[in-house]
Amino acid sequence: MKKIILFTIVFLASISSFSQQTLPVNVSAKQDYLKKSKNQKTVGKILLAGGAALSITGVLIAVNDLNHLFDPNYVHSNNNTSDVLVYSGLVIAAGSIPFFLKSSKNRKKAIHFSFKSQMILQEKYGNFVYHTIPSLQLKICL
């Protein structure tokens, strides 16, 4: 009796775990990675352009102060606005580097994801038939 009960439990567990899920799961990993990569690249470009604009503005202010260096009528202010603009622009431009790196990595991940239809042997109405199952394929380059 114990063997029959044990066999029935093992049989019922194997039926539920016999094959893959037949309903396609809505997985759009490739599109998600491409969109994320595009957004990160846009943020990187904005940070780079903004940092460059601040640095150039600071340099132009410093050059304007240098042009009036020998003018006796020019009153030189001791504020360091140009230094602050140049250094903050360089920091902001350097902040764009991680966004470009992550964008590249996400783009590479998107390239490696793809969908593939696999033929799977499944039981249907007491017979074994082949069904095509959409699967997510990940390419690993060694």
pLDDT digits (tens, 9 = 90+) for 8-32: 887 766 665 555 555 544 456 778 8
Q: CA 131 to CA 137: how far, in whole Å?
A: 18
pTM (2 decimals)?
Answer: 0.58
Average model confidence (pLDDT) across the chain: 79
Q: What is the pLDDT of residue 44?
A: 96
Per-residue pLDDT tens over the stretch 98-108: 999 999 998 88
Long-range CB contacts (within 8 A, 24+) of 14-19: 18/122, 18/123, 19/120, 19/121, 19/122, 19/123
User: To which residue do tokens 């001791």 refer?
Assistant: 78
Q: E strands along 50-138, which residues?
A: 113-124, 127-138
73 against 45, higher pLDDT: 45
CA distance 80 to 58: 10
Task: Compute the average pLDDT of residues 43-52.
Answer: 96
